[in-house]
Amino acid sequence: MIFNSWVFLAFFSIVYTLYLLTRRHLRLQNLVLLVASYVFYGFWDWRFLSLLFASTVIDFFAGRAMAATQDERRRRLFLAVSMSANLGMLGFFKYFNFFAESTTALLNVLGMQADFITLNILLPAGISFYTFQTMSYGIDIYRRKLQPTQRFLDFMLFVSFFPHLVAGPIMRATALLPQFTRKRHIRVEQVNAGLFLILWGYFKKVVVADNLAVTANNVFNNYQDYQGMDLLLGILAFTFQIYGDFSGYTDIARGISKLMGFELNLNFNLPYLAANPSDFWERWHISLSSWLRDYLYIPLGGNRCGSVRTYRNLFLTMLLGGLWHGAAWNFVVWGAYHGLILCAFRRLDPYPEHLREHRTVGDSLRLAAKVAFMFVLTVIGWVIFRSGSLEQIAYMLTHVGFGDRSWTTVSTLWRMVVLVSPLLLVQGYQYFSKDLLILSKWTPLARVPVYAFLLLAIILLGSRQTTEFIYFQF
C-alpha cells in the first residue's frame, strides 16, 4: 500500500475516522493504530509481518533484560543478541545475493571456478528503516540514555507506526515512544501544517517526481543514445525526481501524523541550498545522517583522535551509509564519493560559509557560489547513485555538456521548467523566511488559492500511474 494510491486514501479515511471516534480512550486509540499499521505493512506481503514482529519481540525483551541487570557482561550479551538478530535479518534479506555474486565474480577473476547458489530473495519493504530504529532503542538502553518501555503494545506501535514505517524518517524512541503513552491533543496549527504538508508532499511526488521520472528513466536506461544537453537534462531530471519523491514521502508522513496529533522529525531542509557536504548531510535524509553520526561516527572516535583518524571515520561512515542504501556497487562508490568530498572540504574549508554572518553583497555572492558548486557536486553524486555500472558512470560524466542538442531538447527543457519552477519558488520563499511551514501560517483567505493550485496541479498534471517511492527499495 503506497501513499499515492486510492487504496491508501480509503484506508486512511477509515483509520482516521476510527482514530477520532476513540479519542477519549488512549489504549483503544493506540490499538486502532497498531492494527492499522500491521494491515498497512501486511498489504505489501503478509509473510514479512513475521520479520517485523520478530524484530519487535527481540528488541523489547533484550531492552528490558539490559535494564534489569548491572552486570556489564550480561548487558553486552543482550545487546549482542539484539544487534545480531537485526543485522542478521537485514544482511540476509538485503545483501545475500550481492555478496554471493560479488564473491563468485572475484573468485572467477582469480582463476578459481565458483558457482554459488543465489536465492531469489525478496526485500521486505522498509527493513532498513525499522531495523535502524529498533537498533537505536537497544543501544540507547545499553548506554543508559533510555529506560525501556514496560508496555509491549506501545513498543509494537513504535516499531510499526505506519506513516513512517517504510521510508522514514528513522525515529528515536526518546522522540516517538512518549507520544504513544500520553493522550494526544490535535491543535489547530497541527491541522494547518498537516494539510499543507500533505498537499505539498503529493505535489512533489505525483506532479514533480513522477513526471520527471519519464525523462530520467529514458536517459539512464538508454544512456548510450544520449549526450551533451540531452544527457544533462536527464541527470537534472533525476536530481529533482529523487528529491521530490523522497521528501514528498516524508512530507505526507509528517502531514498525516500531524492530523493525528503526532510529531515526526524533520528529514529534509532544503538540501540543494547546502553550501558544503557537511551542510548537505544536515539537510538531506537528516534522520539517517544523524543516526550514522551518533551510532557509527562518534563510536569510531569522531573527531577526537586527530585529523587522520577523523578522515578515516568520516570516510567509513559514508561508505557504510552508501551500502545502507542498497546492495550494489554503485551505492558503495556513491558513499565513498561523499566520504571523499566530506574529507576534502573539512581540510580545505575549515570555516564553513553557511555558519557565518553575511552582511555584505560580497558575502552573499560568495555563499551563492558555494551553494552552486555544492549543487554540481551533488548532481555528480546522483549520477553515481542512479547508474547501473562503472561504465555508465564514466560515460555519463564524460559525455554531458551544453552542446549536442536533439530535436526534443527544447520540449524536454520547457517541460522540466514548468514542473520544477513552483518547487523552486516555494523553496526560495521557505529559505528566505527561514520557515518550512510558512505557507501554512498564512491567513485562510491567502492559503485558499495556494492550496487550490496544488490540488488542481495534482489532479490535472499528476501522473496517472501509481508509482512506488524510490526509497521503498532501501
Mean pLDDT by 10 residues, the chain (474 residues): 88 96 94 96 87 94 94 94 91 71 58 57 79 94 93 95 90 94 92 96 96 94 92 96 95 97 96 94 95 93 84 93 85 94 85 60 84 96 94 94 81 93 95 94 93 94 79 66
Distance CA(85)–CA(131), nearest Å, equals 10
Distance CA(399)–CA(228), nearest Å, equals 6
pLDDT at 405: 77
Active-site residue set:
325
Closest CA to 220 of 204, 233, 205: 233
Q: Which helix (H) or strand (E) holds 32?
A: helix 26-42
pLDDT at 294: 94
Closest CA to 130 of 48, 11, 237: 48
Distance CA(33)–CA(410), nearest Å, equals 49
Closest CA to 89 of 154, 41, 135, 37: 135
Distance CA(71)–CA(58), nearest Å, equals 20
**Cα dist from 263 to 163, 253, 304, 357, whole Å:** 11, 10, 34, 31
Q: Is the peptide bond before 178 cis (omega within 30 degrees of 0)?
A: no
pLDDT at 445: 93
Q: Is 400 helix (H, G, I), strand (E, B) or coil?
A: strand
- 442, burial (CB in 10 Å: exposed 0-12, middle 13-18, buried 19+): middle
Distance CA(474)–CA(471), nearest Å, equals 5
pLDDT at 472: 67
CA dihedral 130, 131, 136, 137 (to 10 degrees): 70
Q: Is the pTM of this model over 0.95?
A: no
Closest CA to 260 of 12, 9, 3, 5: 12
